[in-house]
Amino acid sequence: RVTILPHGSLRIVNASKSDEGRYLCQGVNVFGSAEIIASLSVKEPTRIELTPKKIELTVGESIVLSCKALHDSTLDVTFYWTLNGQPIDFEKEGGHFESIKAQASSADLMIRNILLMHAGRYGCRVQTAADTVSDETELLVRGPPGPPGVVIVEEITDNTATLSWSPGADNHSPIFLYNLQARSPFSLGWQTVKTVPDVITGDMESAMAVELNPWVEYEFRVVATNKIGTGDPSTPSRVIRTNEAVPKTPPANVSGRSGRRHELVIAWEPVSEEFQSGEGFGYIVAFRPNGTRGWKEKMVTSSDASKFIYRDESVPPLTPFEVKVGVYNNKGDGPFSPIVVICSAEGEPTAAPIDVKATSLSVSEILVAWKHIKESLGRPQGFEIGYWKDMEQEEAAEKVKTEGNESSILLTGLEGNTLYHLTVRAYNAAGYGPPSAAVRAATKKSPPSQAPSNIMWIQDGSHVSLGWEPVRPLANESDVMGYKVLFRQEGQSNSQVIETQKTSAVVLLPDVGVYIIEVCAVSEGGDGTASPQIRVPSFSGGKVTSAQSTLHVFSTSSSSVTLLLALMVPSTSW
């Protein structure tokens, strides 16, 4: 049990408490001796228990692994956790792992919201100053299936594709269903397709996608399902194109459109490329007068076409026709749309508006009014007004439109003191009718640019009497027709207005406060430039006596209001 090894070491097998003590090792040669003393302490062996021993969980569940240590009471213990032999990094595991140490001799490992990647061998290692022991437990995680293997397209027709694949990992829950999905340039992402067989069970590795559209590019993928859920899809297959076939989808919403006289305008919704079924796609437009037998057919070779116009001078307006539109491609002719009855065009308006009048309203506005002769054909949908300056050509006319049965329009944004020529003509979807005879109207001259000057006012209580010098317009400005006095309380935006043809006015200030007063000239071209603002206080209570009346003069030659004279005179003396 106790052996001295060749190099001088002492080996003790199956040590026990009786082996404790001080050991002396002595070396001797001809020159002398040397010795060393070692103390031996014998501790109880450490034992651990890791529970539970084997666990089966489902993705999303949580578990606590418990590791308990039986050890010598004189030794400290340290716990370490591993997964598949690698230390668990609690900082980098996204909060799934947490080490919990409630007592000195035990430790727990909390695993939250378990993922498939958390399956494996979990180890607990306990280390003391005297020994190291470890134990392991197996964690099996059940989850939705993994993605199936590569999808192979084995056979293609005009509306089917035969596919095969290899099964993916079942993640400890048997696969009982496969779902086949397809994507094309015309689909909104991946869509489940019909298959043969209708239900693809978990033991199958091939199926046929059916009811595909001819001459369309597809890619396919497979998704597996078990009792836990549906897994991730497989990698998409290579892109394939189904074979060509005769088209089966006729145009929708075949109808008539407005056109010129003697025209039959046939319109439809173009067939999407998804349903054209092959190259060389086009339309066959068939029509005949209502009540006749033979069809007249015309080919439209553009796949994007949405209209066909048939013109025949012998066709009266509003003649009813039976119409149908079919489809074709290089594989043959497809079906026609249902027959609808549409009428030939009634044509553009034929009569010009009458009694056209143009009235100048201001420096920038002219009101245009007209009448229109009612017609049985070529009914107008609105009117177009053209206008141009006297020195311009009619080709340079600006144009505005009305809609419906409007019989007047206000032209705005015109130049002042300018002569305009104006015409009116009706229009509809077929085109424009003839214009009316041109009429003329001149915009008003600009309003006076000079503001009323040398404003004088005297206040008697809440009454303010105003006077000013008359405004004299320039040669290219409108004559003065009168004046406006605008007044408002300070802080408000809406003004009250007093109109007068004199150069004086009396303003009643009804409420207490400071009032802002302005004066401007009035002309047929509009209001002129306003005078500088006057600030006048209004007092509450009794009437201000004549002794308190004060005459003020505002000179426009200065930017400031100047008090020139205080008079002790009655308020009515000026």
User: Is residue 213, in this structure, part of any structural domain at all?
Assistant: yes
Task: Label residue 430 by pLDDT band (50, 70, 90).
Answer: confident
**Domain final residue, candidates 242, 275, 300:** 242
Q: Comparing C-alpha atoms, which of 375, 355, 365, 261 is closest to residue 311?
A: 261
Greater confidence (544 vs 127) lies with: 127
**Do residue 212 and residue 257 come from a single domain?**
no
Average pLDDT, the chain: 89
User: Is residue 68, in this structure, part of any structural domain at all?
Assistant: yes
pTM of the predicted model, to two decimals? 0.59
**Do residue 434 and residue 478 come from a single domain?**
no
**Do residue 219 and residue 302 come from a single domain?**
no
pLDDT in tens, 307-320: 999 999 888 888 99
Tokens 């048939």 -> residue: 310
**Do residue 257 and residue 230 come from a single domain?**
no
φ, ψ of residue 114 to 5 degrees: the values are -65, 140
CATH code for position 82: 2.60.40.10
**Do residue 61 and residue 8 come from a single domain?**
no
Residue 155: what pLDDT? Answer: 95
Residue 565: what pLDDT? Answer: 34
Range of lowest pLDDT (139-153, 275-289, 560-574): 560-574
| CB-based burial label for 141 (10 Å; 0-12, 13-18, 19+) | buried
Mean pLDDT of 30-52: 91
**Do residue 340 and residue 362 come from a single domain?**
no
User: Is residue 247, in this structure, part of any structural domain at all?
Assistant: no
**Do residue 208 and residue 277 come from a single domain?**
no
**Do residue 282 and residue 303 come from a single domain?**
yes
Residue 328 bridge partners (DSSP):
282, 333
Query: Is residue 255 pLDDT above 60, yes or no?
Result: yes
**Domain final residue, candidates 242, 269, 284:** 242
202 and 174 Cβ atoms separated by less than 8 Å: yes
Structure tokens at 196: 């043969």
**Do residue 161 and residue 184 come from a single domain?**
yes
Mean pLDDT of 420-447: 91
What is the span of the domain harbouring residue 278? 252-344
**Domain final residue, candidates 281, 313, 344:** 344
Query: Is residue 40 pLDDT above 60, yes or no?
Result: yes
The proportion of the chain whose per-residue pLDDT surpasses 70, expressed as a percent, equals 94
Q: How many CB atoms lie within 10 A of CB 262?
A: 17
Polymer length in residues for the chain: 574
Query: Is residue 339 pLDDT above 90, yes or no?
Result: yes
Query: Is residue 432 pLDDT above 50, yes or no?
Result: yes
Mean pLDDT of 185-201: 96
Bond before 197 cis per omega within 30 degrees = yes
Give the best-scoring range by mean pLDDT among 3-7, 114-118, 216-220.
216-220
Residue 261: what pLDDT? Answer: 82
Residue 546: what pLDDT? Answer: 34
Residue 482 bridge partners (DSSP):
522
User: Is residue 409, in this structure, part of any structural domain at all?
Assistant: yes
Give the dihedral sign, CA 354/355/360/366.
Answer: negative
Strands 132-142 and 54-58: parallel
**Do residue 136 and residue 156 come from a single domain?**
no
313 and 355 Cβ atoms separated by less than 8 Å: no
User: Is residue 147, in this structure, part of any structural domain at all?
Assistant: no
Residue 308: what pLDDT? Answer: 96
Query: Is residue 561 pLDDT above 60, yes or no?
Result: no
**Do residue 460 and residue 481 come from a single domain?**
yes
How many domains, the chain?
Answer: 6
**Do residue 63 and residue 9 come from a single domain?**
no
**If phi over 0 gives left and psi between -120 and 50 gives alpha, with beta otherwise, what is residue 17?**
alpha
CA distance 98 to 500: 92
Mean pLDDT of 364-383: 86
pLDDT in tens, 501-554: 999 999 998 888 899 999 999 988 888 999 999 898 887 544 443 334 455 655
